[in-house]
Amino acid sequence: MTTRRPSPGRPRHIPSTSTASPREQVLEAAAELFVTRGFAATSTREIAERVGIRQASLYYHFAGKDEILAELLQRSVRPTVDKIAKIEALVPPETHETALYLLALVDVRTLAEAPHNVGILCGLPDVTNCEIYAEFRDARQELVDAYGRLGLQVASPKVANDTDARHLGEMLTHSIEVVTTIRNVGMAVTGDGANSIAASCLRICGAPEVTIASAASTAGELLAEFRNDIATVARTLGH
């Protein structure tokens, strides 16, 4: 994704009390407006006014709304993708169900604790088609592939015979993305809710309840390894 940074821009229209950079403030304002008002209903002028800069200054940082949304969506998925290798390294290779459960927990908490529910916008028609969103789609596909790979390793013989890694990965990813729908109706996703979603992923794979309980216990302990990272992501997205 190419962003415009040729110069610091014009003087600020309204003095800022924020310590974040103007670019980060644009992302924060856009995230709030896109989620509360809708992407189509939000103009770059309104984003600029929310930040307190001139509309022309916004274009020093982003080419337009699509570029802003592309970066916001990338930030909603990339933090989890970047943790896949660490998750698989922490979990013994023979306990794939724990790795899948832990990946689901990390993913749910990352989506649930972001200040703005940007993930709800990933289904917009332009996001699925336009080239500017290709980087986000590629990152999401990495996540889908990880879910599919781990899911097949956990899958019962019946599930493994009835599906492949690609389809199973999409099913598991959609199970996680329900977090954005829950948030969109004004409900919070609690720790118990996160565990319920993670457990549902293993059930989709046909894992028995005793296996799910064991994975939940171990993954719950390992989640502590990621709490600081998740909190940092939330602060970054909230600026």
Locate 116 and state its tokens.
Answer: 């703005």
| Token pair 């979603």 in the structure block, residue | 197
pLDDT, tens only, 165-204: 999 999 999 999 999 999 999 999 999 999 999 999 999 9
Cα 52 to Cα 25: distance, rounded to the nearest angstrom: 9
- The C-alpha torsion from 6 through 8 and 13 to 14, rounded to 10°, is 140
Nearest of 156, 151, 161 to residue 207 by alpha carbon: 156
Q: Model confidence over 13-37: pLDDT tens digits?
A: 444 456 778 899 999 999 999 999 9
Is residue 62 within 8 Å of residue 24, measured between CB atoms? no
How far apart are the C-alpha atoms of 15 and 171, rounded to whole Å?
Answer: 47
* DSSP string for residues in 57-96: HHTTT-SSHHHHHHHHHHHHHHHHHTTHHHHHHHS-TT-H
Buried b (16+ CB within 10 A) or exposed e, 163-201: bebeebbebbbebbbebbebbeeeeebeeebbbebbbbb
Q: Is 153 exposed, middle or buried (0-12, 13-18, 19+ CB in 10 A)?
A: middle
* Average pLDDT in the chain: 89
The confidence score (pLDDT) of residue 25 equals: 94
For the full predicted model, state whether its pTM sits above 0.85.
Answer: yes
